[in-house]
Chains A and B, each alone.
Chain A
Amino acid sequence: MPRPAYTLTELMAVVAAREIRDGEVVFAGTGLPMLGVMLAQRTHAPNCVIIFEAGTVASQLAHLPMSVGDPRAMRRAAAAAGLIEVFSYVLQAGRVDVGFLSGAQVDRFGNINSTSIGRNPRRPSVRFSGSGGACDIACLAKRTVIIAKHEERRFPERVDYITSPGWLEGGTSRGEAGLVRGGPEAMVTTMGVMRFRQKTKAAYLESYHPGLTPGSVAKATGFALETGGAVETPPPTPEELRILRREVDPEGIFLG
C-alpha cells in the first residue's frame, strides 16, 4: 500500500467536520475546530453557522483566524458584539448545537483539564492557559466534540483538574451536578474516534485511524478502553483534501 496522501491534521480536520450537521450553530475555538467548520460549510453543511466567543456571529471567513478575537473573525459576520452577549444570549440560552473543546488531559468520561498538572491546584507542577470559554461551552452547548492528542499520559484514569465537565463520574452524574444540557458526544484524537456508551457514559473506541489497530490505540490510552466493534476511520476524500488545502487553509497556518 502506498503511504496515505494526507497528514494526520488533515484527517482530524475532516473527521471533526463530519461531526457537524447542516444548519447547526457551532461554537469553535482556534485551530482544528476552525478547519473543521470551514470544511463542513464547503461540503455537507453549507448552512452551519460559526460563533466565536469573543463576540462574532455567523462569520463568513475569508482567512483563517489565529485567535477567536482575530479581526479576521469579523469577515462578513451577521452580528458582532462582545463576550457577554455571546455567552448569555447565545450559549447559556441554549442556542449552540455543538461546541469544540480540547485540553491537556481527558478522562474516560470526557472531562477535560486545560488548567494545570498536579493534585494540588495551589502548587501545580505545570500550568496551562486555563479555561477560557471551554468550561462554559462544556456546560452549556447541546453537545461537544473533544479534540485531543492521543497519548497515555493525556488520557489518564482521572484528570488532575476538571476544567471542562464532561459526563463527570458517568451515568446520570452530569445532570445531578445541575447541568441543564449537553455533554461530550465524541473525542477525535490523533489515533481514532471515541464515543460514549449511552448508559454508563464511558468512552469506547468507534474507529482507529488508518495504519493503527484497536490494540495500539488501547495501549496508548491510560484508562481501560473498550475497542470491540471498532472500524477503521474512513480516510479523507480527494475533494475534502482539495477544499482543506486550497480553500480553507491555503496559507498553511494550521495544516503546515
Chain B
Amino acid sequence: MDLRRAASLVPDGATISFGGFTTQRHPMAFVYELIRLGKRDLYLFGHSPGGDWDILIGAGCVKRVELAYEADEAFNTVGPRWRRAVERGRIEWEDYSNFSMVARFTAGAMGIPFMPVRSLLGSDVLAKTALGPKQRRSDPRTSPKKAHVMTSPFNPGERVVLVPAIRTDIAVLHVQKATSQGTVRIEGQTFADVQQALCAQTVIVTAEEIVKEDVLRLEPERNPIPNFAVTHVCHVPFGAHPYAVFNYYDYDPLQLKEYHEEARDDDAFRRYLEKYVSGVKDHAQYLEAVGGRTRLDPLKASPSFGYSPDLKRRRL
C-alpha cells in the first residue's frame, strides 16, 4: 500500500502507538506523512519513543500521551518539543515506567484487562497522576484509573501493582522485511513491537524490503507476528531515517544534531518542519532534502556489524 494512503487511514483523535525505541526503528516516514496530512488530537501510547513523538507533538498533531520516556538518549536527554509542550500546558500526559507500559501493551495483546507488576511501589509514578479524574472519566480512550495496588489473593504478604491494558486503534511498525501477505521479520531487538501490534485494531507495517512469502516462511520461528493480524504493508526504504535500522543503516548524527538544535526554538523548529516535512511532497523528496545518497550511503550498515562501524558520531 502507498504510504500516503496508509497514513490517511488514521482519523483525527485516533489512539496510536509506533514501534521502535529511542534511536532505532521508529516509522518516521509514516510520522512525517501524518504531519503532512495535518492530523490532529492524536492519543499516543509508548514506552521510550524519541523524535517520532517529538516532531508530531511540535507539529501540533497530539492531544494526549501515555509514556515512560521521551528523548533521544545521548543525542538529547529530553525531547525539546515535548518539554516545551508540557511546560506551556499544551499537552495532556500520564507517566508510567518502561516496564509498566510494556506490561500494559502485553495485557492488551493477550486480551486481558490488566497486568500485575512488582515495579512502581513507593514511587510517585504510582502515587501521582498528571491526568485528573475528570479527564479520565470523560474520555474512554484513557483508562478510568492509572493503576491499582493489590495484595496477592494467594499470599497476603505480597503486593503487586495492576496496570490497565492498552488497546489502540492503530499500531505502526517499521521493520526490516515484510511480505505483501503481512508476514514480518524483525532483526535485532524487537523492543515492544510485537505487543504494540497485537493490541491494535489496525496494524500498519512499513518495511525496508518487501520479500517473497516463501523466503520468510523458511524460518517461521523468526516471524513474531501472526500475519493475519497485519492489516497493511508499505515498502519504505530509509523509512526510519534519521534513526537506525539494524542490518540496514545507522542513525544519522548530523540530522539528529540539526533537529535537536532547531527544535529548541519555535521559529527554527517551524523552519525545520517546512524544510524537511511539510514543504516536501513525500519520503523520496525528504531523503533528497536531507542530502540524498551523499548523506545516506555512509549510514549503510556493514554486513558484519549490522551498523556503520566507521560512522562519525562524537557526542553532539
Smallest Cβ-Cβ distance to B23: which chain A residue: A67
B69 to A73, Cβ gap below 8 A? no
Closest to A80 in B: B189
List the A side residues contacting B47 at CB < 8 Å. Answer: 83, 132
Cβ < 8 Å to A, chain B residues 119-170: 119-125, 127-130, 132, 149, 158-159
Given contacts A130-B68, A131-B97, contact A139 B122 (CB under 8 A): yes
B306 pairs with A130, CB closer than 8 A: no
**A254 CA to B251 CA in the complex, in Å?**
17
Picked from A71, A82, A134, the residue with its CB within 8 Å of the CB of B194 is A82
Q: Which residues of B contact A130 (CB under 8 A)?
A: 67-70, 95
The CA-CA distance from A164 to B123 in the complex, in Å, is: 6
The answer on a CB contact under 8 Å between B98 and A131 is yes
Interface stretch, picked from B99-107, B199-207, B279-287, is B99-107
Q: B22 near A133 (CB under 8 angstroms)?
A: no
Q: Are B191 and A92 in contact (CB under 8 A)?
A: no
CB of B87 closer than 8 Å to a CB of A: yes
Count the B residues whose beta carbon is within 8 Å of the partner chain — how many?
73
- Max count, chain A CB within 10 A of own CB: residue among B117, B124, B305, B314: B124
Chain A interface extent, by class: 35 or more
Which residues 160-214 of B sit at the A interface, judged by CB distance below 8 A? 188-195
Residues from 62 to 83 in B contacting A, C-beta threshold 8 Å = 67-75, 77-79, 82-83
Q: Is A128 within 8 A of B78, CB to CB?
A: yes
Give CA–CA (A164, B126) in the complex, Å.
Answer: 11
- Chain A residues, CB < 8 A from B127: 162
Q: Considering the chains assembled together, what is the distance between the CA atoms of A128 and B114 in angstroms?
A: 28
Shortest Cβ gap from A105 to chain B (Å): 12
Could you say which residues of chain B place their CB within 8 Å of the CB of A74?
188-189, 246, 306
What residues of A have a CB within 8 angstroms of the CB of B75 in the complex? 66-67
- Which residues of chain B are near A180, meaning CB under 8 Å? 118, 158
Given A136-B98, A253-B314; A80-B188 close (CB under 8 Å): yes
Q: A84-B106, A116-B86, A124-B87 are in contact. Are A69 and B98 (CB under 8 A)?
A: no
Question: Is B307 engaged at the interface, CB distance under 8 Å to the other chain?
Answer: yes
CB-defined interface of A147-170 with B at 8 Å, one 1/0 digit per residue?
000000000000001111100100
CA–CA, A115 and B99, complex, Å: 16
Could you list 28 examples of A-B contacts with CB < 8 Å?
A62-B305, A63-B309, A66-B23, A66-B313, A68-B73, A69-B21, A69-B73, A71-B301, A75-B306, A82-B194, A84-B106, A88-B99, A115-B125, A121-B124, A125-B87, A129-B69, A129-B79, A131-B69, A133-B48, A133-B98, A135-B119, A139-B122, A162-B124, A162-B127, A163-B125, A179-B118, A179-B121, A253-B314
Interface residues of B (CB under 8 A from A): 20-24, 47-48, 67-75, 77-79, 82-83, 86-87, 89, 95-100, 102-103, 105-106, 117-125, 127-130, 132, 149, 158-159, 188-195, 244-247, 250-251, 301, 305-307, 309, 313-315
Those 4 A-B pairs whose CB atoms lie nearest each other, nearest first? A69-B21, A177-B122, A178-B159, A132-B69
